[in-house]
Amino acid sequence: MIIDNKLLQCGICRVAVVDDGIDWLDWASKLSKPTLDSLTFEGDSHYAFYRNIMDEPSFPFPIILNHVAAAVQKYFDVNSMEEMRLDDAFCVHYNTSQKDSSGAKHTDPSDITINMCLEVSDNIEGSQVKFYGTKNLHDVLPLKDDDSASAFLVEQQPGYATIHWGDHPHETLPIEHGRRTNVIMTLMFKDKSRSQAANRTCYY
Ligand SMILES: O=C(O)CCC(=O)C(=O)O
Ligand SMILES: [Fe+2]
């Protein structure tokens, strides 16, 4: 597991999901097309492109969850992935033809979010995820107060999952060049008494 220590100290864990059997680009091209459902009743007005993929039959959710399990267990106070359930999953896609490719500042309706990057074009500019403030991770020495970032950017890299607490405020910056496709998976503690997310108001 190669983990970026600076990000960890800010509360973000980035993990490579390398699997010979998965063609991320192929999934990006498939999922970044609208469906009738995504165009009609399930749109999320906060994203220029949003497509729910909970019912996508062959998307490799189990493989992704397997790859991130060790990191989730080490850093997010989870003893076993059995304690978590996948509550929702959707694809976001950004390109320069979109009128507004930013994502407003929010927290997620999740205890833990896994944001899997499928595709980033070579000419990408912008479209970083900007996090506000730092969060503590298990087993990571937090930054001293004066080093603590008030906000920082996380670049997205294809094949990497960004794992963060659902209540870590973040936004997506507008894309200036290129295209990007990510899949966002929201995880909840099955034990409702451990879940902070059920009654969260996500937008400010
Ligand atoms: O990748 C993106 O632009 C969305 C990021 C996000 O909202 C998340 O990780 O929860
Ligand atoms: Fe989010």
Provide ipTM, 2 decimals. 0.99
Best substitution site from 12, 113, 120, 185 to test ligand 1's pocket, by max atoms within 8 Å of Cβ?
113
Q: Where are the alpha helices (DSSP H) in the chain?
A: 5-10, 24-31, 36-39, 61-75
Kindly report the CATH number that applies to the domain delimited by 5-154+164-189.
Answer: 2.60.120
Q: Which of 172, 175, 185 to mutate to test the pocket of ligand 1 (most atoms within 8 A of CB)?
A: 172
DSSP code of residue 187: E
Q: Which mutation among 170, 175, 181, 185 tests ligand 1's pocket best, with the greatest number of atoms within 8 A of CB?
A: 170
pLDDT digits (tens, 9 = 90+) for 19-67: 999 999 999 999 999 888 888 766 567 899 999 999 998 999 999 999 9
Whether 181 is in the pocket of ligand 1, judged by its Cβ within 6 Å, is no
What are the CA-CA distances from residue 48 to residues 30, 45, 89, 96, 115 (Å)?
17, 7, 16, 11, 17
Residue 7 above 60 pLDDT?
Answer: yes
Express each pLDDT in 92-122 by its tens digit. Answer: 999 999 999 999 999 999 999 999 999 999 9
CA of 95 to the centre of ligand 2 (A): 18
CA of 6 to the centre of ligand 2 (A): 21
Higher-scoring residue by pLDDT: 4, 54 = 54
* pLDDT value, residue 143: 80
User: Where in 107-147 does DSSP place strands (E)?
Assistant: 112-120, 125-126, 129-132
Neighbours of 45 (CB within 10 A): 7
Query: How are the residues of the chain apportioned to helix, strand and coil, as percentages rounded to the nearest 5?
Result: 20, 35, 50
pLDDT at 73 over 90: yes
Q: Measured between alpha carbons, how far is 12 from 168 in angstroms, rounded to an integer?
A: 9
C-alpha 39 – ligand 1 centre gap (Å) = 20
Check if 128 has its Cβ closer than 6 Å to any atom of ligand 1: no
Burial 63-92 (b: 16+ CB within 10 A, else e): ebbebbeebbbbbbbbeebebbebbbbbbb
Separation of CA 30 and ligand 2 centre (Å) = 22
